Structure 1
Amino acid sequence: MADTGEAFFSLLDLTEYEADALEELLLLGRTTAPDLAEATGIPKARIYGVLDSLAEAGYIQVIPGRPKRYQPHEPAEITDRAVENQRHAYERFREDVEAIEDSFVDAYAPVRDRDIDELRPTEDLFHVVDVGEPSERETRRLFRNAETAVYTLTKSFGYIDSVEVAMRDAVDRDVDVDVLMLAPDHLSESNREQQAAIRERLLEEFPGVSVRMIDRVLPWRGTLADPSMSYDSGEGLLLVEQEEIPNHHRQAAVTENPSFVAGFWQYFDLLWTHESRPAE
């Protein structure tokens, strides 16, 4: 049964925590978030975010009450929902591409007529990775490769566990790390609790990391490393904010194009300087 479950969960593109939580719920039937955290070893600061993702994906249901309880749907419903999620993800991707198809063609078709030496700087503007472990792996790489600075725009930095070692390595190498988080008023109750725990953790374990809060809900988030206004360095990972789509059905753009990174960093810097406030 374990091998079958592992094979199925891998098809769902779940994080390790999400897969562990869903499997345990299927075995337990119904339980509370703290009890599930204890049973699985998932940190309490992350369990609500994990359960929110599973509920958004349609794999579990939330039973109102004090405390709330969580219950998995029937296995057959989960498999049906998994197929439906993939279909919706594809349809959304197709619609997004069609929405910008004309402008994309108009912008890049003339490039074919340029000299090859002019073309090289615009090649490979970005490549796409799935959100979850693939995007977290790219984020770790950005921290490890950074030489001067890393800038992160995030809601609550809920993926800190997956990048902690790489971030600590960057800080130890005197790389500046700035984290811009969404103000708690714009988060769900569980995400507010998660963010508060992570902010406290950053304060205690990473006092050199600068954290600020912003009230504006932004259409993108991600991480930028070593941007340069001379356009000779910089890497980044960016994803569009799509609340209606669970994280594990989203994709992120990875770029090594210095001009692209510099442009996004200028946006980040304006937000950091003029629209954010220190974390409490």
Structure 2
Amino acid sequence: MRTPIKVLIFSTIGLSLLAVLVPELQMLLALSWVGIKNYYYWQVLTYAFITPGSVSVGFFFQLGFNMYVLWMFGTSLLERTQAKLFLTLYLGAIILPGLSVLAIPNAVLAGSTTAVYAILVAWMMLNSGARLLLFFTIPFKAQWLVVGLIAFTLFVNISSHYWVGAISLTASILYSYLFTLIVWKQLGPFPILHPFERRFLSLFEKKVKQPKQRTKIFDIKSGSPVLNDDQFMDAMLEKISTRGKESLSPEEKKRMKEISERKK
């Protein structure tokens, strides 16, 4: 188990058990309007490190499920990215949903569900097409299991009028989706959304700096160096890989076609 995962799991389990033994800690650590009015600003972060409720089967099931998901899918994410980015995703999925529920009067929020679901969404996007075993026996596409779990949780929250849970979960999912799309430049597992995702991603991309050109020929209108055929094809292929084929202008497509025909 990697160090960031160990720290998150052990701190969540430790604080959750301590808060059960000392109920006053739940008032200090859970996010609430009363706490914020009393300048307990740390609650925007600490609420995710305690599990609400008293000692019961439900308490241990929720704590165990969340920590299992964090261990299993969080470890997989850490193998593909830096610890700094992983912690930015995890902590951001705590703070942003916490701030979002403060729009609800007398809101109270506790539990690591928001952060855990953010990990699930990011893992789903980075492992598009992966399969998981439903009930440890039935292979199932991961994206449908994750979407189904999210839909079920939202349905339970909304049907029981638990708007704090519904809003915080929605904020967490959107944050994780946009974080994975923008930071890791990873499209989602649903092709129908890819055109929108590519256009959205192009808004955040920095212009790729062209390498220094050896040619001393410059375009009269733009003043930029004229690329030779090989340099032009390399630049266009890089553009397609990051922004999609539809990002090419008609002139660029025409020149690519002419170069391809000349090389036949």
TM-score, with normalisation over the residues of structure 1? 0.28
Kindly indicate which of the two structures has a greater share of residues assigned to strand: 1
Q: Which has the higher contact order (CA 8 A, sep 6+)?
A: 1
TM-score (normalised: structure 2): 0.29
